[in-house]
Structure 1
Amino acid sequence: MVQQEPDTAAGEGPRIRMARPGDAEALLAIYAPYVRDTAITFEWDVPTVEEFRQRIAHTLERYPYLVAESAGGRALGYAYAGPLKERKAYDWACELSIYVAQDAHGRGVGGALYATLERLLADMGVTNLNACIGYPAAPDDPYLTRASVEFHTHLGFEWVGRFHGCGYKFGRWYDMVWMEKVVGGHPANARPLRPVSQVAALLG
């Protein structure tokens, strides 16, 4: 059973803000157990704090990177966008990633992060949100559940593709599925994306 934090009132949602490179240590503490103990990420080795700091800074050059905090300022989770592909024609499509602290599940953190991320990306002009999700062959896999697919389905994402046995971790082969949500129109003359610095102000 997850205990409510003493500095977070019951029913109070998390505060969402833009991440900073200085958040690296706190966010890495959330991410590291996913690397060590699960196949939710296909990364094998926990990155260093400096590597993680550079990842945050690199993402913020072009996309939102969000942190969910408790009323007391503790990081409860984070979510960010990245390019679906690096070539110019993919500019209007993003790949999303999200990680929630192990003791913060079931408190609306993931939904709050994704709702804010979707709003900011749509305001930038992004049209397609994509999620790359590890998928176990059996529902009782000890390292990976189907919860992420269920989470994305609940938020309006649709299953659009599946790669079979493309990920290997913990001596097991894992499928990977793609899910997608269209959040904008596809005009004949697409405008360049707004800079992330302009939409960051929407967070208040």
Structure 2
Amino acid sequence: MLPVIRDAIDTDLKAITAIYSDEVIHRTATFELDAPDEAEMARRVDAVRAQDLPWLVAESDGEVAGYAYLAPFRLRPAYRYCVELSAYVAPHAQGHGVGKALMAALIERARERGLRHLIGVIGDSENAASIGLHRSAGFREAGVWRETGWKFDRWINVVLMQLDLMPEGGPPPGDGLRL
């Protein structure tokens, strides 16, 4: 069954925090070493919303199975049409279309906002599932930062992937993000 994608609400914070904490503690999708608490995750959600950007959750069988959001890629005004897409899926929900559904919803929201580029910053070049998910959504590899993260007693690459929502170029529509 496909998950229901919706905007995150305050009662989702416990599940969002648990999903992210699992990534921090057990995997290399993020280079954080200490899992943030619920208050810190609430601050992060609020910061995204303050930019008028989406923070979505995927709900399956009445529980949060994953979450994803858009955030400014860089804080310089020239980057105002470019956002970073982040998505995390609970271990039990991986491989069931949750990440794909979240990504599709965020891509649509970015188009609606008149944004031009989505950037995926994938921790670990060995993360074939995330790289494949980005490719299936139309992202292409834009580069690799080699051995930039030290976690679990090894150096880890970062893969940059990019989706061009307006590949024909031309002037951007609207004003972009307020940076």
By the TM > 0.5 criterion, same fold?
Answer: yes
Distance of aligned partners of 1:86 and 1:194 in 2 relative to their CA distance in 1, 3 Å threshold: closer
Deviation at 1:19, TM superposition (A): 1.0
Return the index of the structure with the highest Cα Rg.
1
Letter in 2 for 1:20: I
Match of 2:150 in 1: 168
Q: For residue 15 of structure 2, give the secondary structure of its aligned residue in structure 1.
A: helix
Distance of aligned partners of 1:33 and 1:191 in 2 relative to their CA distance in 1, 3 Å threshold: same
Q: Work out whether residues 19 and 67 of structure 1, in 8 Å CA contact, stay in contact via their aligned partners in 2.
A: yes
Distance of aligned partners of 1:113 and 1:64 in 2 relative to their CA distance in 1, 3 Å threshold: same
Match of 1:66 in 2: 56
Pick from 80, 89, 93: which aligns with 1:100? 89
In the TM superposition, what whole-angstrom CA distance separates every residue of 1:47-93 from its partner, at most 9, and x where no partner exists? 01101111111111121110000242x00100001111001110100
Match of 2:137 in 1: 155
* Structure 2 residue runs without a partner (length 5+): none
Where has structure 1 moved over 4 Å in runs of 4 or more? Answer: none
In 2, Cα distance between equivalents of 1:189 and 1:67? 29
The number of equivalent residue pairs is 176
Deviation at 1:16, TM superposition (A): 0.7
Distance of aligned partners of 1:189 and 1:158 in 2 relative to their CA distance in 1, 3 Å threshold: closer
In 2, Cα distance between equivalents of 1:69 and 1:160? 31
Instruction: Give me the TM-score of the superposition, normalised by structure 2.
Output: 0.92
Q: For residue 162 of structure 2, give the secondary structure of its aligned residue in structure 1.
A: strand
Once the two structures are superposed, the pairs formed by residues 1-204 of structure 1 within 5 Å of their partners are 12-62=1-51, 63-72=53-62, 74-136=63-125, 145-184=127-166, 186-188=169-171, 190-193=173-176
Give the structure with the larger strand fraction: 2
